[in-house]
C-alpha cells in the first residue's frame, strides 16, 4: 500500500510538468526524503509549511514534534526553490510542479555533492498518510532499546514516547546525548517515527508484538548509518552515570590548550582573559546537533554570568584546515548568537578528540565538556548532551549545571 501511495505521489509531481503556472502555494506540505534508493520502505517523511511573514518574507517551517525550524534562507527562481537550513549546511533544491516539489536534499550542502532524492506534496498534513489503522497499543512510557543485539556494535538506549490516539512523539537517549525531536504514528501493530532538522535525517520503524514489545526494528540515518533494534517497556532502566563513562586520568598532566581563533590569532588557557575565571571547555562540532543544544544553553548561561567570571570556550573539530572550517563556524556563531570564544582544534574524528583531551580517560563523544575552577583545577567532566527534546532530563541537567556553575563562581570571592 505504501509503495503504491508513494508512486501516486511521484506521478502527481511529474504530471505537473505541463502546467502553465508553477507557483509555490502557501500552506502545508508533506516532504519525503529517499535516504537509500534501494530501500523505499525507509523513505523519510516530514512536515513543512510555506508561509509569508507579516513583512512579506518567504519562509518554510519544518516541524518535528515540539520543534519548529524556520528556513528563511529561501529563494525562488522561475520554477525552482532553494532552501538552506539554519545553523547547519544542509540544503533542498527542488522544481515546482503544480502542487508538488521534486528535487534533491543535500545533507552537507550542495558543494559537498552528496544528495538524496526529495519530493513534497502540497496540502498533506499527515506525517505518515499511508498508515491509517487504529493503533493496537499505547506506547506511552519509557523503553529499553537494544540496538544490533549479539554483534560487536550492540548498544543499549532509552526511548521515551508520548502517544495520543495514533500520534506519537518523543526522543531516544544514549550515553552520547539524544536523537532530539521525533514524531510519527502508531498504525495497527506498526510503529514509525522520523525527524529532519538540518543535521539529522532519521527514521525508525518497528512491529508491536502481541506481548507489547517492539520487534523487527529498523533505524536509518544515512545509507551507511543503519541498525536493527528491539525494545521493551522498562520504567526503571537507567543509562550509565557520567562518572562511569569519563574521568580525569590519575596523575594526568595539567590540562591546557593553545589553538587559533577564526581570525588566526592563537588563544591559550594561560591567557589573561581566563585568569581567575571559571572556564568551561567544550569539544564540539558545528555539524553536531547535540552540540547545537549545548551551545544555546551556554550562550544563555554566559550572558547571565560573564560579569561574575564565567568563560566558556568551544574547541571546534571541523574540516582539515582552519580556512575550510571558518565559514561553517562563523555561520554557527552568527545563527546561535553565542558570544564567547570559539577556537579551531583540528579535523573531526576520534583521534583528534582524544589527542586534545589528552588528560581524560573513558568514552568521549561530541560534545565533551570540562569544568575548570578559578585555580585551574578540573572539577567535573561530562560527555554528551541531552537537549530540550528530552524534557525532564534536560530540565534537571540545566538546573544542576547552573547551580554547579554558581558554586564555582562563588569560590574565591
CATH of the domain at 385: 3.40.30.10
Hey, is 70 helix, strand or coil?
strand
Torsion of CA 110, 115, 71, 20, to 10 degrees: 90
In 80-154, beta strands by DSSP E? 80-84, 91-97, 100-106, 116-122, 141-147
393 & 260 share domain: yes
Q: Average pLDDT of 135-155?
A: 95
Residue 158 lies in a domain: yes
Q: How confident is the model at residue 413 (pLDDT cuts 50, 70, 90)?
A: low
Q: What is residue 253's DSSP assignment?
A: P
68 & 111 share domain: yes
A 10 A CB-CB count for 262 gives: 18
112 & 158 share domain: no
Burial environment of residue 64 by CB neighbours within 10 A (0 to 12, 13 to 18, 19 or more):
buried
Q: What is the CATH number of the domain that holds 51?
A: 2.40.128
Give the span between the Cα atoms of 296 and 302, in whole angstroms: 10
161 contacts 12 by C-beta, under 8 angstroms:
no
Q: Average pLDDT of 290-299?
A: 97
User: Looking at residue 240, what is its pLDDT?
Assistant: 86
User: Looking at residue 6, what is its pLDDT?
Assistant: 53
- Give the chain's mean pLDDT: 92
Residue 133 lies in a domain: no
Q: Are strands 310-318 and 278-284 parallel, antiparallel or unpaired?
A: parallel
Count of domains observed in the chain: 3
268 & 317 share domain: yes
87 & 149 share domain: no
Q: How confident is the model at residue 2 (pLDDT cuts 50, 70, 90)?
A: low
381 contacts 369 by C-beta, under 8 angstroms:
yes
Indicate the residue among 233, 268, 295 that finishes a domain.
233
187 & 104 share domain: no
User: Looking at residue 15, what is its pLDDT?
Assistant: 47
- Encode pLDDT of 104-125 as tens digits: 999 999 998 899 999 999 999 9
Cβ contacts of residue 51 below 8 Å, gap of 6+?
A: 26, 27, 58, 59, 60, 61
Of 96, 347, 302, 85, give the one whose Cα is nearest residue 201. Answer: 85
- Encode pLDDT of 155-188 as tens digits: 999 999 999 999 999 999 998 899 999 999 999 9
278 & 392 share domain: yes
Give the span between the Cα atoms of 1 and 128, in whole angstroms: 12
- Encode pLDDT of 212-268 as tens digits: 999 999 999 999 999 999 999 999 999 988 778 899 998 888 899 999 999 999 999
pLDDT at 67 over 60: yes
Q: How confident is the model at residue 18 (pLDDT cuts 50, 70, 90)?
A: very low
Residue 405 lies in a domain: yes
Residue 253 lies in a domain: yes
99 & 229 share domain: no
The range of the structural domain enclosing residue 191 comes to 141-233
Indicate the residue among 194, 210, 233 that finishes a domain.
233
Give the span between the Cα atoms of 21 and 24, in whole angstroms: 9
Q: What is residue 223's DSSP assignment?
A: T
User: Looking at residue 1, what is its pLDDT?
Assistant: 41
269 & 388 share domain: yes
pLDDT at 3 over 70: no
User: Looking at residue 252, what is its pLDDT?
Assistant: 82
pTM: 0.91
User: Looking at residue 368, what is its pLDDT?
Assistant: 95
Q: Average pLDDT of 334-358?
A: 94
In the chain, pLDDT over 90 holds for what percent of residues?
85
Residue 129 lies in a domain: no
Torsion of CA 20, 26, 32, 35, to 10 degrees: 90
Amino acid at each position: 500500500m505504501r509503495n503504491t501511495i508513494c508512486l501516486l505521489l511521484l506521478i502527481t509531481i511529474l504530471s505537473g510538468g505541463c502546467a502553465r503556472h508553477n507557483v509555490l502555494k502557501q500552506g502545508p506540505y508533506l516532504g519525503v526524503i529517499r535516504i537509500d534508493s534501494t530501500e523505499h520502505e525507509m523513505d523519510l517523511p516530514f512536515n513543512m509549511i510555506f508561509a509569508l511573514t507579516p513583512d512579506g518574507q518567504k519562509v518554510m517551517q519544518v516541524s518535528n514534534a515540539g520543534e519548529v525550524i524556520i528556513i528563511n534562507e529561501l529563494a525562488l527562481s522561475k520554477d525552482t526553490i532553494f532552501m538552506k537550513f539554519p545553523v547547519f549546511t544542509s540544503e533542498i533544491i527542488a522544481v515546482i510542479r503544480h502542487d508538488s516539489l521534486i528535487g534533491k536534499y543535500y545533507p552537507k550542502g550542495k558543494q559537498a555533492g552528496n544528495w538524496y532524492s526529495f519530493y513534497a506534496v502540497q496540502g498533506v498534513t499527515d506525517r505518515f498518510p499511508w498508515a491509517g489503522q487504529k493503533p493496537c497499543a499505547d506506547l506511552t512510557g519509557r523503553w529499553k532499546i537494544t540496538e544490533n543485539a549479539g554483534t560487536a556494535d550492540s548498544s543499549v538506549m532509552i526511548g521515551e514516547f508520548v502517544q495520543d490516539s495514533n500520534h506519537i512523539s518523543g526522543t531516544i537517549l544514549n550515553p552520547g546525548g539524544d536523537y532530539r525531536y521525533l514524531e510519527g504514528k502508531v498504525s495497527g501493530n506498526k510503529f514509525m517515527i522520523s525527524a529532519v532538522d538540518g543535521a539529522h535525517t532519521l527514521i525508525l520503524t518497528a512491529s508491536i508484538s502481541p506481548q507489547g514489545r517492539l520487534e523487527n526494528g529498523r533505524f536509518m540515518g544515512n545509507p551507511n548509518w543503519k541498525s536493527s533494534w528491539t525494545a521493551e517497556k522498562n520504567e526503571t532502566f537507567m543509562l550509565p552515570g557520567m562518572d562511569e563513562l569519563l574521568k580525569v586520568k590519575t596523575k594526568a598532566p595539567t590540562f591546557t590548550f593553545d589553538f587559533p581563533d577564526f581570525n588566526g590569532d592563537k588563544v591559550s588557557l594561560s591567557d589573561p582573559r581566563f585568569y581567575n575565571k571559571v572556564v568551561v571547555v567544550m569539544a564540539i562540532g558545528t555539524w553536531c546537533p547535540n552540540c547545537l543544544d549545548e551551545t544555546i544553553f551556554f550562550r544563555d548561561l554566559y550572558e547571565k554570568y560573564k560579569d561574575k567570571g564565567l568563560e566558556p570556550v568551544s574547541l571546534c573539530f571541523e574540516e582539515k584546515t582552519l580556512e575550510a572550517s571558518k565559514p561553517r563556524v562563523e555561520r554557527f556563531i552568527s545563527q546561535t548568537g553565542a558570544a564567547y570564544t570559539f577556537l579551531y582544534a583540528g579535523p573531526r574524528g576520534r583521534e583528534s578528540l582524544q589527542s586534545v583531551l589528552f588528560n581524560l580517560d573513558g568514552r568521549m563523544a561530541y560534545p565533551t565538556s570540562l569544568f575548570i575552577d578559578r585555580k585551574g583545577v578540573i572539577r567535573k567532566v561530562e560527555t554528551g548532551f541531552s537537549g530540550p527534546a528530552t524534557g525532564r532530563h534536560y530540565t534537571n541537567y540545566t538546573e544542576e549545571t547552573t547551580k554547579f556553575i554558581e558554586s564555582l563562581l562563588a569560590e574565591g570571592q
